[in-house]
Amino acid sequence: MMRQYRAQRCRGGVNPLGVGVIAVGSIYYVQDHGQFDSRYGGSAVCRVPYLVEAFLNGTCGAARRNRETGLWESAHRSGRSDFALVRSLRDRRVVRRISVHLLIVHEDLGLWKELTRYPSLSDLSLYRRTTRTAARCRGAAQQPN
């Protein structure tokens, strides 16, 4: 299962990688902006289901400075998922880019087709935070008491 790492809303428990609550393959009834922007709160329309296909890398605006031109440039960072790609299950051709925060709002409002399970956590036996920490642990294990 594909997961969203370092998400703005994470699963609970021991979760050092920050696995998010939205999984790839979840199906939502994505509403138009008018449903959330309406003053008196319109009713939800559950006609067109959308499937979450992938998470895009996040964009950090003005993240670094170009040495040649002196202008600030944006950079794309993996592990910072701000947007997701969703595909319409009605016509299978429409691909939209939607905010992950909006998908979380849909999750909270119950606008999903099936009850989605949280993404499973990664196998942490292969995960090392840094090489320095691993080397420090190896060095401590080799020293006699």
- Determine how many CB atoms are found less than 10 A away from the CB of residue 113: 14
Structure token pair of residue 19: 């696995």
Check if the beta carbon of residue 50 is closer than 8 Å to that of residue 25.
no
Which of 16-30, 47-61, 127-141 bottoms out in mean pLDDT, i.e. has the lowest?
A: 127-141
Q: N- to C-terminal Cα distance for the chain?
A: 44
The reported pLDDT for the residue numbered 69 is 92
Which secondary structure element, helix H or strand E, spans residue 139, and what is its range?
Answer: helix 131-142
Q: How large a percentage of the chain has pLDDT more than 90?
A: 12
Q: How far is CA 132 from CA 102, 123, 137, 140, in A?
A: 38, 21, 9, 12
pLDDT tens per residue across span 112-128: 887 767 666 767 776 66
Please tell me the pTM assigned to this model. 0.67
Q: Residue 75 pairs with which residues in a beta bridge?
A: 60
The reported pLDDT for the residue numbered 145 is 43
pLDDT tens per residue across span 22-56: 888 889 998 876 666 666 666 788 888 999 988 88
The reported pLDDT for the residue numbered 51 is 92
The reported pLDDT for the residue numbered 80 is 67
pLDDT tens per residue across span 68-104: 999 999 887 766 677 889 999 988 877 889 988 888 8
Confidence of residue 136 (pLDDT cuts 50, 70, 90): very low
The reported pLDDT for the residue numbered 130 is 56
Q: How many CA atoms lie within 13 A of 6 on its CB side?
A: 9
Confidence of residue 137 (pLDDT cuts 50, 70, 90): very low
Give the dihedral of Cα atoms 98, 100, 103, 107; nearest 10 deg. 170
